[in-house]
Amino acid sequence: DTGVSQDPRHKITKRGQNVTFRCDPISEHNRLYWYRQTLGQGPEFLTYFQNEAQLEKSRLLSDRFSAERPKGSFSTLEIQRTEQGDSAMYLCASSLGQAGRNTEAFFGQGTRLTVV
Amino acid sequence: AQSVAQPEDQVNVAEGNPLTVKCTYSVSGNPYLFWYVQYPNRGLQFLLKYITGDNLVKGSYGFEAEFNKSQTSFHLKKPSALVSDSALYFCAVRGPYNFNKFYFGSGTKLNVKP
């Protein structure tokens, strides 16, 4: 257990429905990342927060995706009008510090989304 | 743009033998390099990192990695493989110009046979 928790662990949804995932990072970590991983691939960057500010978004993050981190603590990732291509493992990670450029990220166990 | 390549989709090794999982990176400057391991249906676990200093870095579970700047490589090694080392291994790079994200390779599946 890395200390990063994600909820739910698994989600099955019908195409067109909205889903929301939650991530609770390690409490003292001010940096938070969302990644997406499909079978046989490495994690792909989606978005990054420093405290409550969303500082970078990947072009992979279409208008149907939105992420928030109110108060710089937990984060949510919402996917609207889900499509079958959204089926993947969604990973959240956190890391430490303003000057912590050389620090590793700690990953949660992921939320596996299946769109049917 | 930063990128990481893991040229082998799969590595097979017998228990007790040394193992190497290869990683090369394509970044100008001095990036930070990381290795992670992923067990089935789990998130990624940090193994080790190279920031600066000694080219041989030691990490968790007896793993080590050798940074080679001239070959832009960061290969993961272990002197004696265990069956329990069987998992998916990812190399990642961060920086040196954008520290907002980690770039991951496509992963290498390590199979250690008894």
Task: Reduce the DSSP state of residue A75 to 3 states and report it.
Answer: strand
Contact B32 A33 (CB under 8 A): no
Give the pair of three-digit tokens for residue B31. 């990036």
Chain B residues inside the 8 Å CB shell of A104: 34, 46, 49
pLDDT value, residue B55: 92
Minimal Cα distance from A39: which residue of B?
A: B106
Q: How far is CA B70 from the centre of its chain?
A: 17
Chain A residues inside the 8 Å CB shell of B107: 40-42
Asked if A48 reaches chain B (Cβ–Cβ under 8 Å), the answer is: yes
Q: How confident is the model at residue B96 (pLDDT cuts 50, 70, 90)?
A: confident
Contact B43 A109 (CB under 8 A): yes
- A100 pLDDT more than 60: no
Selected for mutation to probe chain A from B6, B100, B108, B109 (highest A CB count within 10 Å) is: B100
What's the mean pLDDT in A99-112?
A: 84
pLDDT value, residue A105: 92
Minimal Cα distance from A47: which residue of B?
A: B101
Q: How confident is the model at residue B97 (pLDDT cuts 50, 70, 90)?
A: confident
What mean pLDDT is reported for chain B? 92
Contact B41, B57 (CB under 8 A): no
- The pair phi, psi for residue B52, each rounded to 5°, is -165, 170
Selected for mutation to probe chain B from A33, A69, A104, A107 (highest B CB count within 10 Å) is: A104
Task: Reduce the DSSP state of residue B110 to 3 states and report it.
Answer: strand
Query: Who wins on pLDDT, B23 or B32?
Result: B23
pLDDT value, residue A28: 86
- A8 pLDDT more than 90: yes
Neighbours of B51 (CB within 10 A): 17
What's the mean pLDDT in A55-71?
A: 91
Q: How confident is the model at residue B29 (pLDDT cuts 50, 70, 90)?
A: confident
Helices (H) and strands (E) in chain A, counts: 0, 11
Residue with tokens 């069987």: B86
Contact B49 A102 (CB under 8 A): yes
CA distance B98 to chain A (A): 9
Instruction: Name the percent of chain A lying above pLDDT 70.
Output: 95
pLDDT value, residue A97: 63
- B113 pLDDT more than 80: yes
Contact A101 B99 (CB under 8 A): yes
Query: Who wins on pLDDT, A44 or B53?
Result: A44
The sign of the CA dihedral A80, A85, A91, A96 is negative
d(CA A7, CA B33): 29
Chain A residues inside the 8 Å CB shell of B44: 43, 91, 93, 107
Contact B45 A55 (CB under 8 A): no
Burial of A63 (0-12, 13-18, 19+ CB in 10 A): exposed
Q: Which residues contact B80 (CB under 8 A, 6 or more apart)?
A: B16, B17, B18, B62
